[in-house]
Structure formats: C-alpha cells, structure tokens
C-alpha cells in the first residue's frame, strides 16, 4: 500500500510538472507564431510579390493607351517594377485590369468583367454626354475603381495630349510678343466680309456638325458670321480650304490656326470641367482662344489669356468685341501679358490638376492593400443632367 502511495504521488507530481511545462510551451509557441504571423502579414502588405501588373483590356479611342510600358515606382522607400501590358499571357498574373469607356458600345447590356480576384478599373476622359459607361449607373457600378474627370483617380481630357505651352521664361528664351505672336499673323482686311483669302482674324475648325445636340455652337457661329469673317476650315459651315496639305492632322491644323488672332474653341458639350486641346493649343500657338464651355473649366486657364463667350450678351456683341480688338493692337496684346507674369504662371500651374500616371495607379493599389480605403467605392455615375448645362445656355441674340 505504502509503495503504491509513493508512486501515485510521484506520478501526480510528474503530471503537474509536465502540464506546467506544456502550458509554458504552448504560450511560448503561440507568442512566436503570433509574432511570425504578424510579420508575415506586414510583409505581404508592404512587399508586393514580384511585379505589379496592369492588364490593358483593348485600345483607348482606337489607340494603344498612353501608359502602355514598364515603369519603376517608389512606395515605402522601396522601388517596384510596374508593367502596363496588353500581352494576353500576362493576364493571369495581373492584379488590375483596365477597361476603356470609349470601347464600351452597348452600354445598356454591358456585362460585368470577369474578375478572377482582379481589380477592374474603368478609364474614361470624355464629357458625360459623350461617354458610354460613365453616364450609365448600371454599367459604371460594375467596376471597382474609376479614372475620369470625377473618378477615384482624376484624368482630365486634355492631359492625354501633352499640352504645357509655356516656353522657358529665362532670359534668352523669354517670351517676345513680336517674335512669338505678331510676326506669324497675316495682315487682315477686317471689314471685307466678302473677301475670301488670307484674312487672318477668326478661325474655326470642326467636323462634328450636328445641330442642337449638346449646345448651339453652330447656330451661334452662323450668326457671328454676319458681323465678322470667320474662316471655317472643317466640315461644319465650311467656307475655306486648308492650304497646307489638306490634312486635318493636328500639326497642319496648327500651322493654319497660328496665323489668326482668334480661334473659336467651342466645345461640343457644356459639362463641368470639360475643356479640350482646342484651347490649350491656342495658348501654345500665340492665338487668343474664344471659349464656349462650362464656366468651371475656366479655372484651369491663366487669367487674362482667353475670351469667354458667356461674358457677352449675344453672338453679335462677341463679334463686335473681336473686331474692336482687331483694330486695337495694344488691347489685343494684353491677352499675352500672362506669359511674362510669373505670378500668373504660378497660379495657373497650381490650378492644373495632376494627371494620373503609372505610379499614381500603383500607389492607389498599395494604399488599398494597406487598408486606406475600401475596394468598392461609390460609383461616380456621371449624370448629364447634373454635370452639363442646357444646350442653349449661350445666348445667340
């Protein structure tokens, strides 16, 4: 009996000791595992495995998207390789797939993109009235992120056409009105409405001639033509041929336009922040743009560099003002003062929206992985009724 008792006590002691050791072991390994897990998650969040790949699902306005290519981006002090590709073999490895609004034709029947754990991004740069998917709530909701005028990442129309018109304002290259503007202008015959030739006051080039669709620009210009010569080179209200090489490519267009004092930069839709290269090209060429657009778009232009149709009571009034400037060289020249005013240029640069580039998209993705925002944001459905003005906003008479 006694022996048995001793053995029993010994056994109990062993079991208790063993349990304590086992408990300590569990606590220790749990802590080690937990720490290991935490490190692992942190590593995952901070270090993308391999490269970040964005698969471009087709063309944008019929051309290869401008970001196509390889980039190096910095995030958290590290350098990463970021690839924008159309190579189908890289699709599986891609983290993001980019779709283009201009390609989505049957918007009402648009199916959700195949996801396969990828983030689908919709890209568009047209005004709400000319966009396909963005102006359709059902369609736009199918994407996780958007890049557009009002999207998660901002993209302005004109940024796609590199349009930063300022020459170096250093001493040698400083803007000179006579050399950079005046010497290129044709002598004008302001009062002779019937003369066809190198009149050189007002030019207009447009090929979308539908009337009363999103604005009344055609009717407005038709009325203007009763008071001032407007040389119309495009299909709409055409009254003069391109002399250069007959092509409507941007460079030959610009050769024609720079001979004029004014260019009618009339947009085909009047939507918030919508302004195109028509205006930016004028600033580059030394021509005063006469703008018809949503007033919100003016904030990204240098003050005093343009004439806004909305500031005139009628088409006739605007025409009269252009004639006045044509006869008053000193007043005309004032429209170029901003070029030698560093405050004005600085204000302008600050007002320009920063365009989305490869690393903006990469950093957006990294920030999402770090929990900076949810995957599914409110879809920026661009309701034309909300973002655009009525077609007859600009008064003709």
Ligand X SMILES: *[C@@H]1O[C@H](CO)[C@@H](O)[C@H](O)[C@H]1NC(C)=O
Q: What is the CA radius of gyration of the chain?
A: 31
Tell me if 68 sits within 8 A of 53, measured CB to CB.
Answer: no
Give yes or no for residue 5 binding ligand X (CB under 6 A): no
Q: At 264, phi and psi to the nearest 5?
A: -80, 95
How far apart are alpha carbons 47 and 325 in whole angstroms? 61
Residues 196-215 that bind ligand X (CB under 6 A): 197
Task: Give the CA dihedral 299, 277, 140, 87, nearest 10 degrees.
Answer: -130
How far apart are alpha carbons 55 and 76 in whole angstroms? 24
Considering only 337, 352, 357, 396, the residue that binds ligand X (CB under 6 A) is 337
Residue nearest to ligand X (CB): 195
393: DSSP letter: -
Considering only 8, 162, 183, 192, the residue that binds ligand X (CB under 6 A) is 192
Nearer to ligand X by Cβ, of 3 and 375: the residue is 375
Considering only 19, 70, 162, 208, the residue that binds ligand X (CB under 6 A) is 70
Q: How many CA atoms lie within 13 A of 209 on its CB side?
A: 11
Give yes or no for residue 377 binding ligand X (CB under 6 A): no
SS3 83: strand
Beta carbon of residue 336, minimum distance to ligand X (angstroms, whole number): 11
Residues 83-102 that bind ligand X (CB under 6 A): 83
Considering only 195, 207, 247, 370, the residue that binds ligand X (CB under 6 A) is 195
Q: Is 125 exposed, middle or buried (0-12, 13-18, 19+ CB in 10 A)?
A: buried
Give yes or no for residue 144 binding ligand X (CB under 6 A): yes
For residue 385, give Cα distances in angstroms to 267, 270, 390: 17, 11, 8
Residues 244-283 that bind ligand X (CB under 6 A): none
How far apart are alpha carbons 117 and 174 in whole angstroms? 54
Residues 289-318 that bind ligand X (CB under 6 A): 303
Nearer to ligand X by Cβ, of 10 and 138: the residue is 138
Nearer to ligand X by Cβ, of 90 and 237: the residue is 90
Considering only 68, 142, 185, 320, the residue that binds ligand X (CB under 6 A) is 142
**Residue for token pair 């024609």:** 256
Nearer to ligand X by Cβ, of 143 and 394: the residue is 143
Give yes or no for residue 379 binding ligand X (CB under 6 A): no
How far apart are alpha carbons 268 and 248 in whole angstroms? 18
Considering only 38, 174, 243, 376, the residue that binds ligand X (CB under 6 A) is 376
Range in contact with ligand X (rule: CB under 6 A) among 3-11, 60-68, 96-104, 191-199: 191-199
Would you tell me which residues interact with ligand X (CB under 6 A)?
70, 83, 112, 142, 144, 192, 194-195, 197, 303, 337, 341, 343-344, 347, 375-376
């Amino acid at each position: 009996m006694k022996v048995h008792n001793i053995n029993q006590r010994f056994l109990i002691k062993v079991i208790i000791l063993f349990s304590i050791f086992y408990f300590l072991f569990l606590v220790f390994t749990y802590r080690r595992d937990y720490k290991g897990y935490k490190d692992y998650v942190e590593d995952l969040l901070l270090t993308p495995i391999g490269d970040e790949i964005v698969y471009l699902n087709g063309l944008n306005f019929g051309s290869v998207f401008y970001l196509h290519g390889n980039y190096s981006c910095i995030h958290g002090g590290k350098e990463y390789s970021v690839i924008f590709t159309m190579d189908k073999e890289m699709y599986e490895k891609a983290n993001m797939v980019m779709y283009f609004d201009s390609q989505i034709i049957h918007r009402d029947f648009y199916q959700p993109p195949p996801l396969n754990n990828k983030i689908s991004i919709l890209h568009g740069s047209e005004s709400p009235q000319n966009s396909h998917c963005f102006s359709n709530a059902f369609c736009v909701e199918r994407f996780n992120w958007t890049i557009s005028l009002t999207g998660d990442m901002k993209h302005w129309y004109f940024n796609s056409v590199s349009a930063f018109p300022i020459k170096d304002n250093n001493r040698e290259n400083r803007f000179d009105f006579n050399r950079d503007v005046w010497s290129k202008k044709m002598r004008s015959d302001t009062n002779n409405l019937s003369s066809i030739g190198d009149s050189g006051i007002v030019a207009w080039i447009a090929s979308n001639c539908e009337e009363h669709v999103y604005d009344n620009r055609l009717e407005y210009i038709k009325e203007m033509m009763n008071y001032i010569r407007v040389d119309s080179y495009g299909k709409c209200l055409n009254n003069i041929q391109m002399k250069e090489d007959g092509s409507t490519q941007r460079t030959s267009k610009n050769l024609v336009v720079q001979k004029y004092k004014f260019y009618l930069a009339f947009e085909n839709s009047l939507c918030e922040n919508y302004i195109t290269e028509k205006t930016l090209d004028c600033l580059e060429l030394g021509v005063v743009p006469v703008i018809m657009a949503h007033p919100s778009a003016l904030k990204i232009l240098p003050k005093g560099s343009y004439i806004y149709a909305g500031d005139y009571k009628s088409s006739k009034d605007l025409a009269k003002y252009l004639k006045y400037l044509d006869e008053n060289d000193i007043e005309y020249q004032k429209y170029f003062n901003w070029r030698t005013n560093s405050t004005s240029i600085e204000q302008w640069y600050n007002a320009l929206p920063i365009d989305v580039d490869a690393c903006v998209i990469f950093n957006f993705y990294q920030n999402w992985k770090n929990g900076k925002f949810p995957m599914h944001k409110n879809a920026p459905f661009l309701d034309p009724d909300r973002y655009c003005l009525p077609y007859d906003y600009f008064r003709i008479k």
